[in-house]
Structure formats: C-alpha cells, structure tokens
Amino acid sequence: MSKTVSVLLFGITREIVGTSSLATAIPPSGEIGDLLDTLRERYPALSGLRSLLVAVNGEYAELNTKITPKDEIALIPPVSGG
C-alpha cells in the first residue's frame, strides 16, 4: 500500500480541485515534481496556471524535494496579496 500525504489547496487551486485539502499518494520517487505531475494529470486545469509552486512545511520547495507522510504540503498558485 502506498503512503499518502495531505495537500493543502488555496485560491484557484482550491476551486479547481474542489476541496481545501486532498489526501494523495506519495509517488515512488518521493519527489514533489512527480506529485505535481500526478495532480496535473488528475486536474488538467492546474496546467493552465501562470505558475504553480509547492511549499513543504511552509517553505517553498524544489521539484526534487523528497516528501514523507508527515510533511505538510501546499500548492501555491500565483500569489496576489497586497
């Protein structure tokens, strides 16, 4: 059985996916980039965004960052505060 991680969703990603938190399988590589690819396949509208970053435990992460079930993952679409 594959391990899962919960992904927090905000703004337009929350609306695309239809929920503010999603449990999803950690890819075999354990890498953020592969998790993103899986989500883009499942929710094609994510590919239409100007950018889509990932935060791990509240810090911007690289695509090759490895994740574990304990990590807090968040999708960060283009920010627009201020």
- Contact between 74 and another protein by CB under 8 A: the answer reads yes
Q: Judged by CB under 8 A, how many residues of this single chain contact another protein?
A: 20
Helix and strand totals (H; E) in the chain: 2, 5
Using DSSP, state whether 19 is helix, strand or coil: coil
Q: Out of 2, 18, 44, 59, point to the residue binding another protein (CB under 8 A).
A: 59
- Contact between 15 and another protein by CB under 8 A: the answer reads yes
Inter-CA distances, 16 with 22, 25, 74, Å = 12, 19, 14
Q: Which residues bind another protein (CB under 8 A)?
A: 8, 10-12, 14-15, 48-50, 55, 58-59, 74, 76-82
